């Protein structure tokens, strides 16, 4: 975890700087509407996707509890050109999308922001559809309905219709350690 966002006991492994990335489904839906075509969440490689909140509501959250896990929202995620690479084919989009559209309305001080870098506090397990509660940085907080997906699990085995894990590997929950 980069300095300024960490405490003495914070550790992260196998990540580029922060333990987890949280994105609201409403934020992706907003981007898709602006582009005039649907975008896949996988392009942004989140660990947690939240549904039931307005677009970019996560930008105002300070903390969120999902099931038994409390997460601290540390800083917005500055995105790079990697979002233009289709994860299924490995090919870069010729029109530099979705990065180009994001840049038109999500650029702050030279950084294109999409999603929130988060860290969990304590050990717990997270199951599909866990109830959630959030605390805002100021003002009212519109709490999301729950976890839509957890991208650490094989995404092709998730069923959004019945919201259950269909993994052939038998994973039904995620566990997090501080």
CATH of the domain at 132: 2.40.33
Mean pLDDT estimate for the chain:
74
In a domain, 5, yes or no: no
Q: Are 8 and 108 in contact (CB under 8 A)?
A: no
Contact by Cβ (8 Å): 19, 118:
yes
Provide the residue range defining the domain that includes 140.
20-176
Q: Which residue has the higher pLDDT, 160 or 69?
A: 69
pLDDT above 50: residue 152:
no
Q: How buried is residue 97: exposed, middle or buried, by Cβ count under 10 Å (0-12/13-18/19+)? A: middle
Nearest to 63 by CA among 159, 145, 134: 134
Pick 6 or 119 by higher pLDDT: 119
* pLDDT exceeds cutoff 50 at 156: no
The pLDDT, as a whole number, for residue 65 is 78
Is 160 a domain residue? yes
Query: What secondary structure, in 3-state letters, does the chain show?
Result: CCCCCCCCCCCCCCCCCCCEEEEEHHHHHHHHHHHCCCCCHHHHCCCEEEECCCCCHHHHEEEEEECCEEEEEEEEEEECHHHHECCCCCCECCCCCCHHHHHHHHEECCEEEEEEEEEEECCEEEECCCCEEEEECCCCCCCCCEEEEECCCCHHHEECCCCEECCCCCCCEEEECC
* 14 assigned to some structural domain: no
Query: In angstroms, rounded to a whole number, what is the distance separating the alpha carbons of residues 167 and 149?
Result: 13
Percent over 70 (pLDDT), the chain: 60
Encode pLDDT of 31-74 as tens digits.
999 999 999 999 999 888 888 888 999 998 888 877 777 888 99
State the residue for tokens 């999603």.
115
CB 17 within 8 A of CB 25: no
Higher local confidence (pLDDT), 44 or 5: 44
What's the whole-number mean pLDDT along residues 95-114?
97
Model-level pTM greater than 0.75? no
Instruction: Compute the distance between CA of residue 119 and CA of residue 175 in angstroms, rounded to an integer.
Output: 13
In a domain, residue 8? The reply is: no
The pLDDT of 12-29, averaged and rounded, is 81
42: in domain: yes
How many domains is the chain partitioned into structurally?
A: 1
Residue 13 belongs to some domain of the structure: no
Note whether residue 80 is domain-resident: yes
């Amino acid at each position: 975890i980069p300095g300024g966002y960490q405490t003495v006991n914070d550790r992260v492994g196998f990540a580029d700087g922060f333990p987890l990335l949280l994105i609201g489904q409403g934020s992706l839906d907003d981007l898709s509407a602006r582009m005039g075509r649907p975008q896949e969440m996988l392009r942004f490689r989140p660990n947690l996707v939240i549904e039931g909140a307005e677009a970019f509501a996560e930008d105002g959250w300070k903390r969120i509890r999902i099931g038994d896990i409390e997460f601290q929202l540390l800083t917005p995620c500055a995105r790079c050109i990697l979002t233009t690479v289709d994860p299924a084919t490995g090919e870069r989009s010729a029109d530099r999308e979705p990065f180009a559209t994001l840049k038109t309305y999500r650029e702050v001080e030279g950084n294109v922001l999409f999603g929130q870098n988060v860290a969990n506090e304590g050990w717990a397990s997270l199951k599909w559809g866990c109830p959630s509660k959030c605390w805002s940085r100021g003002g009212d907080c519109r709490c999301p309905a729950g976890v839509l997906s957890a991208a650490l699990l094989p995404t092709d085995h998730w069923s959004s219709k019945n919201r259950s894990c269909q993994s052939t590997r038998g994973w039904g929950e995620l566990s997090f350690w501080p």
